[in-house]
Chain A
Amino acid sequence: MAANLHDIATSGEVVIQGATIHYQGPNGPVQVLSATDLTLSSGSFTALIGPSGCGKSTLLNAIAGFVRPSGGTIRVDGRPVTGPSPEVGVVFQQYALFPWFTARGNIEFALKRFGLSRAERREAALEALAEVGLHGRAETYPGQLSGGMKQRVALARTLASKPKVLLMDEPFGALDAQTRVSMHELLLRVMDAHRSTVLFVTHDVDEGLVLADRAHVMSATPGRIIDTLELGERRNRSVDKVDTAYIANRNRIMGLLRHREDEPAAALPRRATA
Protein backbone atom coordinates (compact mmCIF):
# COMPACT_ATOMS: atom_id res chain seq x y z
CA MET A 1 0.00 0.00 0.00
CA ALA A 2 2.80 2.38 0.97
CA ALA A 3 4.74 1.48 -2.18
CA ASN A 4 1.59 2.07 -4.16
CA LEU A 5 1.10 5.55 -2.76
CA HIS A 6 4.72 6.37 -3.45
CA ASP A 7 4.25 5.26 -7.06
CA ILE A 8 1.27 7.48 -7.52
CA ALA A 9 2.96 10.44 -5.91
CA THR A 10 5.92 10.39 -8.28
CA SER A 11 4.16 9.73 -11.55
CA GLY A 12 1.97 11.56 -13.99
CA GLU A 13 4.09 14.69 -14.11
CA VAL A 14 3.86 16.59 -17.38
CA VAL A 15 6.61 19.09 -18.23
CA ILE A 16 6.28 21.25 -21.32
CA GLN A 17 9.22 23.41 -22.32
CA GLY A 18 9.09 25.93 -25.12
CA ALA A 19 6.55 23.94 -27.11
CA THR A 20 5.42 25.63 -30.32
CA ILE A 21 2.86 24.24 -32.75
CA HIS A 22 2.22 25.14 -36.36
CA TYR A 23 -0.58 23.98 -38.64
CA GLN A 24 -0.29 23.90 -42.40
CA GLY A 25 -2.37 26.80 -43.70
CA PRO A 26 -3.15 27.67 -47.33
CA ASN A 27 -0.21 30.14 -47.37
CA GLY A 28 2.32 28.07 -45.47
CA PRO A 29 2.56 27.13 -41.81
CA VAL A 30 0.50 29.11 -39.29
CA GLN A 31 1.59 29.30 -35.68
CA VAL A 32 -1.26 28.32 -33.36
CA LEU A 33 0.79 27.93 -30.19
CA SER A 34 3.68 30.20 -29.36
CA ALA A 35 6.52 28.90 -27.16
CA THR A 36 4.74 27.57 -24.10
CA ASP A 37 6.11 26.39 -20.76
CA LEU A 38 3.74 24.45 -18.56
CA THR A 39 4.13 21.96 -15.74
CA LEU A 40 1.34 19.73 -14.52
CA SER A 41 2.55 18.39 -11.23
CA SER A 42 1.76 14.86 -10.24
CA GLY A 43 -1.84 14.45 -9.09
CA SER A 44 -2.81 18.06 -9.75
CA PHE A 45 -6.02 19.19 -11.41
CA THR A 46 -5.41 21.98 -13.89
CA ALA A 47 -7.98 23.91 -15.91
CA LEU A 48 -7.13 25.47 -19.25
CA ILE A 49 -9.52 28.31 -19.94
CA GLY A 50 -9.69 30.46 -23.05
CA PRO A 51 -11.83 31.71 -25.90
CA SER A 52 -12.72 29.56 -28.88
CA GLY A 53 -9.86 29.02 -31.31
CA CYS A 54 -7.07 30.02 -28.91
CA GLY A 55 -5.36 26.64 -29.16
CA LYS A 56 -6.59 24.79 -26.07
CA SER A 57 -7.35 21.60 -27.98
CA THR A 58 -4.09 21.95 -29.90
CA LEU A 59 -2.06 22.01 -26.69
CA LEU A 60 -4.04 19.11 -25.23
CA ASN A 61 -3.64 17.10 -28.43
CA ALA A 62 0.10 17.66 -28.29
CA ILE A 63 0.28 16.23 -24.76
CA ALA A 64 -1.89 13.32 -25.93
CA GLY A 65 0.58 12.64 -28.74
CA PHE A 66 -1.96 13.31 -31.50
CA VAL A 67 -0.19 16.45 -32.73
CA ARG A 68 3.57 16.88 -32.99
CA PRO A 69 5.02 20.15 -31.70
CA SER A 70 7.21 21.97 -34.22
CA GLY A 71 9.57 22.99 -31.42
CA GLY A 72 10.23 22.46 -27.72
CA THR A 73 9.65 19.36 -25.65
CA ILE A 74 6.75 17.65 -23.91
CA ARG A 75 7.65 15.02 -21.34
CA VAL A 76 5.54 12.74 -19.19
CA ASP A 77 7.54 11.50 -16.21
CA GLY A 78 10.69 12.49 -18.01
CA ARG A 79 9.96 10.59 -21.22
CA PRO A 80 9.27 12.61 -24.36
CA VAL A 81 5.81 12.15 -25.86
CA THR A 82 6.18 10.48 -29.26
CA GLY A 83 2.61 9.39 -29.90
CA PRO A 84 -0.60 8.32 -28.19
CA SER A 85 -0.07 6.07 -25.19
CA PRO A 86 -2.31 4.57 -22.52
CA GLU A 87 -0.22 6.45 -19.93
CA VAL A 88 -2.01 9.58 -21.14
CA GLY A 89 -5.78 9.06 -21.30
CA VAL A 90 -8.14 11.33 -23.19
CA VAL A 91 -11.84 12.10 -22.76
CA PHE A 92 -13.19 13.75 -25.89
CA GLN A 93 -16.01 16.24 -26.19
CA GLN A 94 -17.74 14.04 -28.80
CA TYR A 95 -17.53 11.04 -26.42
CA ALA A 96 -15.73 8.91 -29.05
CA LEU A 97 -17.38 5.79 -27.66
CA PHE A 98 -17.39 2.93 -30.16
CA PRO A 99 -21.06 2.59 -31.15
CA TRP A 100 -20.56 -1.06 -32.19
CA PHE A 101 -19.65 -2.10 -28.65
CA THR A 102 -21.91 -2.05 -25.62
CA ALA A 103 -20.99 0.10 -22.63
CA ARG A 104 -19.22 -2.94 -21.17
CA GLY A 105 -17.56 -3.72 -24.52
CA ASN A 106 -16.17 -0.19 -24.69
CA ILE A 107 -14.59 -0.54 -21.27
CA GLU A 108 -13.27 -4.02 -22.03
CA PHE A 109 -11.57 -2.52 -25.08
CA ALA A 110 -9.51 -0.40 -22.69
CA LEU A 111 -8.86 -3.35 -20.36
CA LYS A 112 -7.50 -5.65 -23.05
CA ARG A 113 -3.98 -4.32 -22.70
CA PHE A 114 -3.71 -5.85 -19.22
CA GLY A 115 -3.95 -9.46 -20.37
CA LEU A 116 -6.74 -10.39 -17.96
CA SER A 117 -8.85 -13.48 -18.44
CA ARG A 118 -12.21 -12.99 -20.09
CA ALA A 119 -14.04 -13.32 -16.76
CA GLU A 120 -11.70 -10.94 -14.95
CA ARG A 121 -12.05 -8.39 -17.71
CA ARG A 122 -15.82 -8.60 -17.58
CA GLU A 123 -15.75 -8.21 -13.80
CA ALA A 124 -13.45 -5.19 -13.98
CA ALA A 125 -15.62 -3.57 -16.67
CA LEU A 126 -18.75 -3.99 -14.55
CA GLU A 127 -16.95 -2.48 -11.56
CA ALA A 128 -15.85 0.50 -13.66
CA LEU A 129 -19.43 1.04 -14.79
CA ALA A 130 -20.70 0.81 -11.23
CA GLU A 131 -18.22 3.47 -10.22
CA VAL A 132 -19.87 5.95 -12.58
CA GLY A 133 -23.35 4.79 -11.57
CA LEU A 134 -24.13 2.81 -14.71
CA HIS A 135 -23.99 -0.80 -13.54
CA GLY A 136 -27.48 -1.34 -14.94
CA ARG A 137 -26.46 -0.20 -18.41
CA ALA A 138 -23.63 -2.64 -19.11
CA GLU A 139 -25.29 -4.21 -22.13
CA THR A 140 -26.60 -0.95 -23.58
CA TYR A 141 -25.17 0.46 -26.80
CA PRO A 142 -23.94 4.08 -26.80
CA GLY A 143 -26.69 5.01 -29.27
CA GLN A 144 -29.23 4.25 -26.55
CA LEU A 145 -27.53 6.36 -23.85
CA SER A 146 -28.07 10.03 -23.04
CA GLY A 147 -25.20 12.49 -23.48
CA GLY A 148 -24.40 12.48 -19.78
CA MET A 149 -24.42 8.68 -19.64
CA LYS A 150 -22.18 8.49 -22.70
CA GLN A 151 -19.67 10.78 -21.10
CA ARG A 152 -19.75 8.72 -17.89
CA VAL A 153 -19.00 5.58 -19.90
CA ALA A 154 -16.24 7.46 -21.72
CA LEU A 155 -14.71 8.55 -18.42
CA ALA A 156 -14.92 5.01 -17.05
CA ARG A 157 -13.35 3.66 -20.25
CA THR A 158 -10.44 6.07 -20.13
CA LEU A 159 -9.81 5.45 -16.44
CA ALA A 160 -9.99 1.69 -17.02
CA SER A 161 -6.75 1.87 -18.97
CA LYS A 162 -5.16 3.36 -15.81
CA PRO A 163 -3.67 6.54 -17.29
CA LYS A 164 -1.23 8.54 -15.20
CA VAL A 165 -2.42 11.69 -16.91
CA LEU A 166 -6.04 12.37 -17.83
CA LEU A 167 -6.74 14.94 -20.53
CA MET A 168 -10.29 16.19 -20.92
CA ASP A 169 -11.24 18.45 -23.83
CA GLU A 170 -14.49 20.26 -23.01
CA PRO A 171 -15.94 16.92 -21.93
CA PHE A 172 -19.20 18.42 -20.69
CA GLY A 173 -19.56 21.11 -23.36
CA ALA A 174 -22.50 19.38 -25.01
CA LEU A 175 -24.46 18.76 -21.80
CA ASP A 176 -27.21 20.85 -20.24
CA ALA A 177 -26.41 22.89 -17.13
CA GLN A 178 -28.00 20.48 -14.65
CA THR A 179 -26.35 17.37 -16.05
CA ARG A 180 -23.09 19.27 -16.11
CA VAL A 181 -23.23 19.99 -12.38
CA SER A 182 -23.85 16.34 -11.57
CA MET A 183 -20.97 15.40 -13.88
CA HIS A 184 -18.70 17.79 -11.94
CA GLU A 185 -19.58 16.07 -8.68
CA LEU A 186 -19.05 12.67 -10.23
CA LEU A 187 -15.71 13.66 -11.74
CA LEU A 188 -14.37 15.04 -8.43
CA ARG A 189 -15.52 11.91 -6.60
CA VAL A 190 -14.02 9.53 -9.15
CA MET A 191 -10.75 11.44 -9.39
CA ASP A 192 -10.36 11.27 -5.61
CA ALA A 193 -10.12 7.53 -6.05
CA HIS A 194 -7.93 7.50 -9.17
CA ARG A 195 -5.56 10.38 -8.46
CA SER A 196 -4.31 10.91 -12.01
CA THR A 197 -2.93 14.24 -13.07
CA VAL A 198 -5.79 16.04 -14.82
CA LEU A 199 -5.78 18.70 -17.51
CA PHE A 200 -9.29 19.99 -18.11
CA VAL A 201 -9.95 22.22 -21.11
CA THR A 202 -13.00 24.44 -21.01
CA HIS A 203 -14.23 27.84 -22.08
CA ASP A 204 -16.60 27.89 -19.13
CA VAL A 205 -14.88 29.90 -16.40
CA ASP A 206 -17.07 28.58 -13.58
CA GLU A 207 -16.45 25.00 -14.57
CA GLY A 208 -12.70 25.57 -14.45
CA LEU A 209 -12.88 27.30 -11.06
CA VAL A 210 -15.06 24.64 -9.48
CA LEU A 211 -12.95 21.70 -10.58
CA ALA A 212 -9.32 22.74 -10.64
CA ASP A 213 -6.51 23.50 -8.18
CA ARG A 214 -4.89 25.76 -10.73
CA ALA A 215 -6.15 27.54 -13.83
CA HIS A 216 -4.26 28.77 -16.85
CA VAL A 217 -5.89 31.40 -19.03
CA MET A 218 -5.08 31.35 -22.72
CA SER A 219 -5.35 33.96 -25.43
CA ALA A 220 -5.43 33.60 -29.21
CA THR A 221 -3.37 34.61 -32.24
CA PRO A 222 -1.04 33.00 -31.56
CA GLY A 223 -2.21 30.80 -28.71
CA ARG A 224 -0.38 31.43 -25.45
CA ILE A 225 -0.90 31.28 -21.71
CA ILE A 226 -1.45 34.81 -20.37
CA ASP A 227 -2.23 34.17 -16.73
CA THR A 228 -2.07 31.47 -14.06
CA LEU A 229 -4.27 31.36 -10.95
CA GLU A 230 -3.73 29.22 -7.85
CA LEU A 231 -7.18 28.17 -6.68
CA GLY A 232 -6.17 26.44 -3.46
CA GLU A 233 -6.91 22.92 -2.32
CA ARG A 234 -9.83 21.37 -4.14
CA ARG A 235 -10.88 19.57 -0.97
CA ASN A 236 -11.76 22.88 0.67
CA ARG A 237 -14.22 23.80 -2.02
CA SER A 238 -17.44 22.27 -3.18
CA VAL A 239 -19.58 22.63 -6.22
CA ASP A 240 -22.25 24.67 -4.48
CA LYS A 241 -20.06 26.79 -2.22
CA VAL A 242 -19.01 30.14 -3.63
CA ASP A 243 -16.70 32.36 -1.56
CA THR A 244 -15.03 35.73 -2.07
CA ALA A 245 -11.81 34.21 -3.42
CA TYR A 246 -13.90 32.42 -6.01
CA ILE A 247 -15.55 35.67 -7.08
CA ALA A 248 -12.22 37.48 -7.23
CA ASN A 249 -10.74 34.75 -9.43
CA ARG A 250 -13.80 34.76 -11.60
CA ASN A 251 -13.65 38.52 -12.10
CA ARG A 252 -9.96 38.35 -12.92
CA ILE A 253 -10.43 35.71 -15.63
CA MET A 254 -13.54 37.36 -17.06
CA GLY A 255 -11.64 40.62 -17.23
CA LEU A 256 -8.79 38.97 -19.13
CA LEU A 257 -11.13 37.32 -21.60
CA ARG A 258 -13.20 40.46 -22.15
CA HIS A 259 -10.11 42.63 -22.49
CA ARG A 260 -8.84 40.46 -25.34
CA GLU A 261 -12.17 40.39 -27.12
CA ASP A 262 -12.45 44.18 -27.01
CA GLU A 263 -9.17 44.66 -28.81
CA PRO A 264 -9.15 42.68 -32.02
CA ALA A 265 -6.99 45.43 -33.55
CA ALA A 266 -4.21 44.65 -31.08
CA ALA A 267 -4.03 41.10 -32.31
CA LEU A 268 -4.07 41.85 -36.01
CA PRO A 269 -0.66 43.55 -36.50
CA ARG A 270 0.94 40.76 -34.45
CA ARG A 271 -0.39 38.20 -36.89
CA ALA A 272 0.80 40.26 -39.84
CA THR A 273 4.38 40.25 -38.57
CA ALA A 274 4.35 36.55 -37.65
Chain B
Amino acid sequence: MTLSAISFSPETAARQFLPVSDPDDSMPILSVRDLTRLYGPEKGCQNVSFDLYPGEVLGIVGESGSGKSTLLAALSGRFAPSGGTVRYCQTSGEWLDIYATSEARRRQLFRTEWGFVEQNPRDGLRMGVSAGANIGERLMAQGARHYGDLRAAGLQWLSHVEIDPARLDDFPRAFSGGMQQRLQIARNLVSSPRLLFMDEPTGGLDVSVQARLLDLLRGLTREFSLSVILVTHDLAVARLLADRLMVMRRSRVVESGLADQILDDPQHPYTQLLVSSILQT
Protein backbone atom coordinates (compact mmCIF):
# COMPACT_ATOMS: atom_id res chain seq x y z
CA MET B 1 0.00 0.00 0.00
CA THR B 2 1.41 3.36 -0.96
CA LEU B 3 0.32 6.55 0.67
CA SER B 4 0.99 8.99 -2.08
CA ALA B 5 1.18 12.63 -1.25
CA ILE B 6 -1.28 14.82 -3.02
CA SER B 7 0.07 17.76 -4.86
CA PHE B 8 -2.78 19.86 -5.96
CA SER B 9 -3.49 23.29 -7.23
CA PRO B 10 -7.25 23.69 -7.15
CA GLU B 11 -7.53 26.52 -9.66
CA THR B 12 -5.63 24.97 -12.53
CA ALA B 13 -6.61 21.37 -11.88
CA ALA B 14 -10.35 21.89 -11.87
CA ARG B 15 -10.23 23.59 -15.23
CA GLN B 16 -8.28 20.90 -17.01
CA PHE B 17 -9.81 19.89 -20.35
CA LEU B 18 -13.47 19.94 -19.34
CA PRO B 19 -15.95 22.78 -19.72
CA VAL B 20 -17.99 23.77 -16.69
CA SER B 21 -21.55 22.64 -17.33
CA ASP B 22 -24.37 25.10 -17.54
CA PRO B 23 -27.32 23.74 -15.61
CA ASP B 24 -29.79 26.21 -17.09
CA ASP B 25 -30.07 24.60 -20.49
CA SER B 26 -33.70 23.50 -20.24
CA MET B 27 -36.88 25.58 -20.06
CA PRO B 28 -39.03 25.68 -16.92
CA ILE B 29 -42.63 24.55 -17.19
CA LEU B 30 -43.81 27.13 -14.66
CA SER B 31 -42.22 30.44 -13.79
CA VAL B 32 -43.46 32.33 -10.74
CA ARG B 33 -42.43 35.85 -9.70
CA ASP B 34 -43.30 37.80 -6.55
CA LEU B 35 -46.61 36.03 -6.13
CA THR B 36 -48.62 37.67 -3.36
CA ARG B 37 -52.07 37.15 -1.93
CA LEU B 38 -52.72 38.33 1.61
CA TYR B 39 -55.83 38.12 3.77
CA GLY B 40 -54.17 40.09 6.53
CA PRO B 41 -50.65 40.78 7.78
CA GLU B 42 -48.66 37.56 7.19
CA LYS B 43 -51.86 35.65 6.36
CA GLY B 44 -51.63 34.13 2.91
CA CYS B 45 -48.51 34.21 0.76
CA GLN B 46 -46.16 36.96 -0.34
CA ASN B 47 -43.25 37.52 -2.71
CA VAL B 48 -42.95 33.91 -3.78
CA SER B 49 -40.66 33.34 -6.78
CA PHE B 50 -39.40 30.10 -8.31
CA ASP B 51 -39.11 28.11 -11.54
CA LEU B 52 -40.42 24.57 -11.82
CA TYR B 53 -38.75 22.30 -14.38
CA PRO B 54 -40.30 19.40 -16.30
CA GLY B 55 -40.44 16.24 -14.22
CA GLU B 56 -39.72 18.01 -10.94
CA VAL B 57 -41.74 17.38 -7.80
CA LEU B 58 -41.80 20.47 -5.61
CA GLY B 59 -43.04 20.10 -2.05
CA ILE B 60 -44.43 23.05 -0.08
CA VAL B 61 -44.13 22.46 3.67
CA GLY B 62 -44.78 24.56 6.75
CA GLU B 63 -47.01 24.77 9.80
CA SER B 64 -50.77 25.13 9.70
CA GLY B 65 -51.81 28.62 8.60
CA SER B 66 -48.45 29.42 7.01
CA GLY B 67 -50.13 29.97 3.62
CA LYS B 68 -49.47 26.72 1.73
CA SER B 69 -53.01 26.28 0.40
CA THR B 70 -53.30 29.97 -0.43
CA LEU B 71 -50.09 29.74 -2.44
CA LEU B 72 -51.21 26.58 -4.22
CA ALA B 73 -54.53 28.16 -5.18
CA ALA B 74 -52.74 31.22 -6.57
CA LEU B 75 -50.24 29.03 -8.46
CA SER B 76 -52.90 26.85 -9.98
CA GLY B 77 -54.96 29.69 -11.36
CA ARG B 78 -57.79 29.26 -8.88
CA PHE B 79 -57.85 32.78 -7.63
CA ALA B 80 -56.06 35.85 -8.74
CA PRO B 81 -53.15 37.07 -6.64
CA SER B 82 -52.93 40.71 -5.59
CA GLY B 83 -49.46 40.88 -7.12
CA GLY B 84 -46.92 38.93 -9.12
CA THR B 85 -47.13 36.59 -12.07
CA VAL B 86 -47.53 32.90 -12.84
CA ARG B 87 -46.37 31.97 -16.32
CA TYR B 88 -46.85 28.55 -17.87
CA CYS B 89 -44.73 27.24 -20.71
CA GLN B 90 -47.18 25.66 -23.16
CA THR B 91 -46.46 22.55 -25.22
CA SER B 92 -45.83 24.87 -28.14
CA GLY B 93 -42.98 26.48 -26.17
CA GLU B 94 -44.86 29.77 -25.84
CA TRP B 95 -45.37 31.35 -22.44
CA LEU B 96 -48.84 31.94 -21.08
CA ASP B 97 -49.45 34.44 -18.28
CA ILE B 98 -52.08 32.57 -16.30
CA TYR B 99 -53.89 35.59 -14.92
CA ALA B 100 -53.60 37.68 -18.07
CA THR B 101 -55.22 35.08 -20.28
CA SER B 102 -58.95 34.53 -20.76
CA GLU B 103 -61.10 32.60 -18.31
CA ALA B 104 -61.93 30.18 -21.13
CA ARG B 105 -58.28 29.36 -21.82
CA ARG B 106 -57.62 28.93 -18.10
CA ARG B 107 -60.52 26.54 -17.79
CA GLN B 108 -59.33 24.58 -20.79
CA LEU B 109 -55.91 24.18 -19.15
CA PHE B 110 -57.54 22.89 -15.96
CA ARG B 111 -59.27 20.15 -17.88
CA THR B 112 -56.36 19.08 -20.03
CA GLU B 113 -52.73 19.95 -19.30
CA TRP B 114 -53.17 20.60 -15.58
CA GLY B 115 -54.63 18.53 -12.79
CA PHE B 116 -55.60 19.31 -9.20
CA VAL B 117 -55.92 16.69 -6.48
CA GLU B 118 -57.93 17.99 -3.52
CA GLN B 119 -57.26 16.97 0.05
CA ASN B 120 -60.86 15.89 0.41
CA PRO B 121 -61.76 13.59 -2.51
CA ARG B 122 -65.38 14.75 -2.24
CA ASP B 123 -64.26 18.16 -3.49
CA GLY B 124 -62.45 16.70 -6.46
CA LEU B 125 -64.89 13.96 -7.52
CA ARG B 126 -68.39 14.12 -8.88
CA MET B 127 -70.16 12.09 -6.25
CA GLY B 128 -73.38 11.71 -8.26
CA VAL B 129 -71.90 9.77 -11.17
CA SER B 130 -70.08 6.43 -11.48
CA ALA B 131 -66.34 5.89 -11.15
CA GLY B 132 -66.18 5.33 -14.91
CA ALA B 133 -67.96 8.62 -15.61
CA ASN B 134 -65.59 10.42 -13.25
CA ILE B 135 -62.61 9.11 -15.19
CA GLY B 136 -64.24 9.76 -18.58
CA GLU B 137 -65.13 13.39 -17.91
CA ARG B 138 -61.85 14.94 -19.02
CA LEU B 139 -61.72 12.74 -22.10
CA MET B 140 -65.20 13.85 -23.07
CA ALA B 141 -64.22 17.47 -22.53
CA GLN B 142 -61.41 16.79 -24.98
CA GLY B 143 -63.88 15.49 -27.54
CA ALA B 144 -63.92 11.73 -26.90
CA ARG B 145 -67.44 10.42 -27.57
CA HIS B 146 -67.06 6.74 -28.28
CA TYR B 147 -68.62 4.78 -25.39
CA GLY B 148 -66.28 1.81 -25.82
CA ASP B 149 -63.15 3.99 -25.71
CA LEU B 150 -64.32 5.80 -22.59
CA ARG B 151 -65.07 2.52 -20.89
CA ALA B 152 -61.72 1.06 -21.88
CA ALA B 153 -59.92 4.12 -20.50
CA GLY B 154 -61.93 3.82 -17.27
CA LEU B 155 -60.99 0.16 -16.86
CA GLN B 156 -57.36 0.84 -17.62
CA TRP B 157 -57.09 3.72 -15.18
CA LEU B 158 -58.86 1.88 -12.38
CA SER B 159 -56.27 -0.86 -12.57
CA HIS B 160 -53.51 1.77 -12.84
CA VAL B 161 -54.55 3.17 -9.46
CA GLU B 162 -55.10 -0.34 -8.07
CA ILE B 163 -58.88 -0.33 -7.92
CA ASP B 164 -60.67 -3.48 -9.06
CA PRO B 165 -61.93 -2.68 -12.61
CA ALA B 166 -65.16 -4.49 -11.72
CA ARG B 167 -66.05 -1.37 -9.68
CA LEU B 168 -66.27 0.80 -12.83
CA ASP B 169 -70.03 1.37 -12.49
CA ASP B 170 -70.01 1.94 -8.73
CA PHE B 171 -70.49 5.40 -7.31
CA PRO B 172 -67.60 7.04 -5.45
CA ARG B 173 -69.55 7.09 -2.20
CA ALA B 174 -69.35 3.29 -2.15
CA PHE B 175 -65.54 3.58 -2.05
CA SER B 176 -63.27 3.89 0.98
CA GLY B 177 -61.37 7.16 1.54
CA GLY B 178 -58.18 5.73 0.10
CA MET B 179 -60.00 4.41 -2.97
CA GLN B 180 -61.75 7.74 -3.48
CA GLN B 181 -58.39 9.46 -3.38
CA ARG B 182 -57.00 7.04 -5.96
CA LEU B 183 -60.05 7.58 -8.13
CA GLN B 184 -59.47 11.32 -7.93
CA ILE B 185 -55.91 10.79 -9.10
CA ALA B 186 -57.06 8.62 -12.02
CA ARG B 187 -59.64 11.24 -12.97
CA ASN B 188 -56.87 13.83 -13.16
CA LEU B 189 -54.23 11.76 -14.90
CA VAL B 190 -56.44 10.33 -17.64
CA SER B 191 -55.92 13.43 -19.79
CA SER B 192 -52.09 13.07 -19.50
CA PRO B 193 -51.58 16.40 -17.75
CA ARG B 194 -48.09 17.90 -17.65
CA LEU B 195 -48.55 19.66 -14.34
CA LEU B 196 -50.30 18.36 -11.26
CA PHE B 197 -51.19 20.28 -8.09
CA MET B 198 -51.92 18.36 -4.91
CA ASP B 199 -53.06 19.73 -1.55
CA GLU B 200 -52.36 17.22 1.25
CA PRO B 201 -53.24 14.21 -0.94
CA THR B 202 -52.78 11.75 1.92
CA GLY B 203 -54.16 14.03 4.62
CA GLY B 204 -57.33 12.26 5.70
CA LEU B 205 -56.09 8.70 5.33
CA ASP B 206 -54.76 6.28 7.90
CA VAL B 207 -51.12 5.32 7.80
CA SER B 208 -51.24 2.00 5.94
CA VAL B 209 -53.51 3.46 3.25
CA GLN B 210 -51.18 6.47 3.02
CA ALA B 211 -48.15 4.29 2.35
CA ARG B 212 -49.94 2.57 -0.50
CA LEU B 213 -51.07 5.85 -2.04
CA LEU B 214 -47.61 7.38 -1.72
CA ASP B 215 -46.04 4.42 -3.43
CA LEU B 216 -48.57 4.75 -6.24
CA LEU B 217 -47.96 8.50 -6.58
CA ARG B 218 -44.22 7.97 -6.63
CA GLY B 219 -44.55 5.47 -9.44
CA LEU B 220 -46.97 7.60 -11.46
CA THR B 221 -44.95 10.82 -11.25
CA ARG B 222 -41.93 8.94 -12.58
CA GLU B 223 -43.76 6.90 -15.18
CA PHE B 224 -45.38 9.97 -16.74
CA SER B 225 -42.55 12.38 -15.81
CA LEU B 226 -45.14 14.71 -14.32
CA SER B 227 -44.25 18.06 -12.87
CA VAL B 228 -45.90 18.27 -9.47
CA ILE B 229 -46.48 20.91 -6.84
CA LEU B 230 -47.44 19.19 -3.63
CA VAL B 231 -48.58 20.80 -0.39
CA THR B 232 -48.03 18.74 2.72
CA HIS B 233 -47.34 19.33 6.37
CA ASP B 234 -45.96 15.79 6.64
CA LEU B 235 -42.17 15.80 6.25
CA ALA B 236 -42.03 12.04 5.68
CA VAL B 237 -44.36 12.47 2.70
CA ALA B 238 -42.20 15.35 1.49
CA ARG B 239 -39.06 13.23 1.73
CA LEU B 240 -40.60 10.36 -0.16
CA LEU B 241 -42.17 12.32 -3.00
CA ALA B 242 -40.44 15.66 -3.43
CA ASP B 243 -37.22 16.53 -5.28
CA ARG B 244 -37.26 20.07 -3.96
CA LEU B 245 -38.85 21.77 -0.99
CA MET B 246 -40.03 25.26 -0.14
CA VAL B 247 -40.52 25.94 3.55
CA MET B 248 -43.22 28.47 4.39
CA ARG B 249 -43.67 30.43 7.54
CA ARG B 250 -46.13 33.27 8.12
CA SER B 251 -46.80 33.76 4.41
CA ARG B 252 -43.15 33.79 3.34
CA VAL B 253 -40.82 31.17 1.87
CA VAL B 254 -37.99 31.03 4.41
CA GLU B 255 -35.89 28.30 2.82
CA SER B 256 -35.85 26.27 -0.37
CA GLY B 257 -33.65 23.66 -1.99
CA LEU B 258 -33.00 19.97 -2.54
CA ALA B 259 -35.50 17.99 -0.43
CA ASP B 260 -33.12 15.71 1.46
CA GLN B 261 -30.70 18.57 2.07
CA ILE B 262 -33.43 20.73 3.60
CA LEU B 263 -34.53 17.87 5.84
CA ASP B 264 -31.05 16.65 6.87
CA ASP B 265 -29.21 19.97 7.01
CA PRO B 266 -31.78 22.73 7.44
CA GLN B 267 -30.31 26.24 7.56
CA HIS B 268 -33.12 28.53 8.69
CA PRO B 269 -33.99 28.58 12.41
CA TYR B 270 -37.64 27.86 11.61
CA THR B 271 -36.78 24.86 9.39
CA GLN B 272 -34.49 23.50 12.11
CA LEU B 273 -37.36 23.77 14.57
CA LEU B 274 -39.78 22.14 12.13
CA VAL B 275 -37.43 19.25 11.34
CA SER B 276 -36.39 18.63 14.93
CA SER B 277 -39.94 18.74 16.27
CA ILE B 278 -41.39 16.43 13.65
CA LEU B 279 -38.68 13.99 12.63
CA GLN B 280 -37.18 13.19 16.01
CA THR B 281 -38.69 9.92 17.10
Q: Tell whether A and B belong to one assembly.
A: no
